[in-house]
Copies of this chain bind each other. A is one copy, B any other.
Amino acid sequence: MADLNHILKTHGLRTTAIRREVMQYFLNEGKAVSHQDVEGAMPKADRVTLYRTLAALEESGIIHQVIDDDTVKKYALCGTECSGDHHHDNHVHFKCERCNDTVCLEDIKIPHINLPQGYSVDSGNLLLMGTCKSCA
């Protein structure tokens, strides 16, 4: 609890019950979750508030968007290095095609890629798909 409040404060957000609950949900899941997932887990909470909560957590650098092959937005908790102005979520994501879970592989970084003259790269997103440990 106190932890969660501290994270919120250090990221410039007010401490509210909903934000703590959403963050706790992220901690429990340990995988990328969508707005719909959050809504399912917190049926009493207002849809719109949850959209805005996710947006606030993302803008402040507490969660980051996980790019995935389906069209709903998904998010996961950022590592401790993230802050609002500078996300460092340059790790690889893995989506299991059996259980459909997408997870962060925090230890595996996106390799540097050489591009032709004229391109400059700021950030990247690498999604690997296949079968995860639990489904193998």
Contact = CB atoms under 8 A, between A and B. Distances in A.
Interface stretch (A6-14, A45-53, A66-74): A66-74
Interface residues of A, number: 36
Contacts of A129: 121-125
A132 B120 CA distance: 7
Interface in A101-129: 105, 108, 110-111, 113-129
Contact of A133 (B71, B118, B127): B118
Contacts of A110: 126
A83 interface: no
Contacts of A124: 126-129
A97 interface: yes
